[in-house]
Amino acid sequence: MSNREALQPIVGKYVEHKKRRFYVHSQIYHGPFSEVYVVIEGGQRYAMKIEKVHGATRRVLKLDVLVLSQINRNETSEGFPRIIIAGRTPFYKYCVMQLVGPDLGRLRRALPNKRLSLASALRISIQTLNRLETLHDNGWLCRDVKANNYAVGRGKNASIIYMFDFGFARRYIDENGKLLEQGRSSDLVGTILYAPLSAHNFAEQCRRDDLESWLYMTIETISGSLPWSSLDPKTEYMLIGEWKRFARYSGRWELFRGCPKEFDEILKSIDNIGFNTRPDYRLIRTYIEDAMTRLKISSSEPFEWEQDRLILRKASVMGDRGESDLASSKLKKLEAAAAFNDEEYDIDITL
């Protein structure tokens, strides 16, 4: 059986793409929608993400290609993996891209007390916010902001935080650059622990909602958990939504336990963003920078994993947590990629 006839990449074999050959070194992720392998070409390691042509429950790989190829066109855009090539065999689609390190969720859980230092958490929050700003300015919503979708770079890029995995992404502007009108979604889209209130209300999401999820993620990075972390997202998603509403009022103190006082202002600013209003990312960054100044935190000190490389090794073998959920009466009606024609995916990109 040739490599093009294989149902999926085979460890120890090659995947050929025109005149290029990638040696399949190992599988590093097996999920409900896709698989990821480490592949090697000319001594350089890359990530190969694949999705089966037949039987896939969701089509997510084309969204990764669409989002990353658009952002990659701007060579100054930092913190997004570079796409090398994308293509397909009769049995699976694939995308070879820049290999990054462990995701922030695994990295945090690999640390003592499952939390980063406040200095690292605040510096990470600025980088992750910057990635969202870039994504939004390219016309995309993430709709699944969580630590598992951010990762540290490798080698000399270890201080750079990368954003990846855009399986729930959706454009918020049409082909003519016109903002989409607010509507109603049929599903609770994203990862329920971090989903915005709009998702719990089954409403269409906007840039504000990505920032709300970003704030929950950042709070968890600082304190180690969220007030609703112990609840089961599959059976108690309604209670999780009530917790998030409660956090706007008397539950605010519990939400921000262990966080700088400036975070209360960040939540206020996020909640005041209109559906089609561009968020004031600079204002949010200013609040974080004010907290760092007040707490005498340097923006140049190394991260924990730069000082102790064993943290990265431990994080690389940590179990996963926070798989994306879809909770609604129509769980199988997945609309994240409905606007794209699957046949248009068969492309070749060389950067």
Partnered with residue 274 across adjacent β-strands are none
Q: Where are the beta strands (DSSP E) in 89-149?
A: 92-98, 140-141
Crossing angle of helices 118-137 and 61-72, in 10° steps, is: 90
Buried b (16+ CB within 10 A) or exposed e, 173-210: eeeeeeeeeeeebebbbbbbbbbbbbbbeebbbbbbbb
**Phi, psi torsion values for 163, nearest 5 degrees:** -105, 135
Q: Which token pair is 167?
A: 């399986």
CA distance 119 to 298: 7
User: Which residues are the active-site residues?
Assistant: 144
The residues facing 49 across adjacent strands are 36, 95
Q: How many CB atoms lie under 10 A from the CB of residue 347?
A: 14
d(CA 33, CA 19) in angstroms, rounded, equals 28
